[in-house]
Amino acid sequence: MNMMDDTSGRETSATRAAYLSLRDMILTGELPAGKKLKIEQLRKLLDTGASPVREALSLLTSDMLVERIDQRGFRAAPASHANFDEILRLRCVLEDMALRQSIGQGTPEWEEQLVLSHHRMKRMTNTDVFEDAHKTFHMTLLSNAKSPMLERYCSQLYDLNIRYRYLAASGDNYQSRDIAAEHDTIFEAAVQRDADAASDALLSHYRLTGEYLMSQLTDL
């Protein structure tokens, strides 16, 4: 490997690390919605260079988690009831489409991956680990749609929704729901290749969560 290739590889790795760290801090609210994101402050926070931070913020702009506020400035994307409502409506439309396509083209391999992702999610108790397993389960449901752009949009909307879950935090009403049973219903309908029942269960799951989150987001 020549020196130029080695340097390029280190820069790519630094950008990736900065991207993942900043993405997590925005999703969890450690970097609050609407906060101005200053390169120098973030560089010190992440103990990295200014260039990886700047490139990471540009990538997060494409993810709609960061906004440019002028030619050089950035801020964490603002949060609002209107934005959350749009995210919820788009999720329902796009995931309904993707889920129906995925089930309609169902294969034994897809079903095996769905069984594994569901089993792993049910075993997770740690919040951070559960979030990863939870997203994997929901994305596996859609993964046989054979529509990369659609799946990418669904993944992006999932992340945007997660940010509102952290903003709302967990309350008694949310905990009183049997979330595991809701997931079980979606899973069982999917493996039975019942697209109507799976879609009904998925959309009910999202709308119940949406109603709860909207009731909790009183400060927006």
Domains and CATH numbers, the chain: 3-76 (1.10.10.10), 81-216 (1.20.120.530)
Q: What is the sign, positive or negative, of the torsion defined by CA atoms of 95, 99, 100, 105?
A: positive
Question: Are the CB atoms for 15 and 52 separated by under 8 Å?
Answer: yes
pTM: 0.85
Confidence of residue 171 (pLDDT cuts 50, 70, 90): low
146 — alpha (psi -120 to 50), left (phi > 0) or beta? left
Q: Could you tell me where the DSSP H helices lie in 105-178?
A: 108-123, 127-142, 148-168, 172-176
Strand order in the sheet with 66-68: 36-37, 74-76, 66-68
Cβ count within 10 A of residue 65: 22
Per-residue pLDDT tens over the stretch 56-88: 999 999 999 999 987 779 999 999 999 999 999
For the CA atoms of 146, 147, 153, 157, what is the dihedral angle to 10 degrees?
A: -30
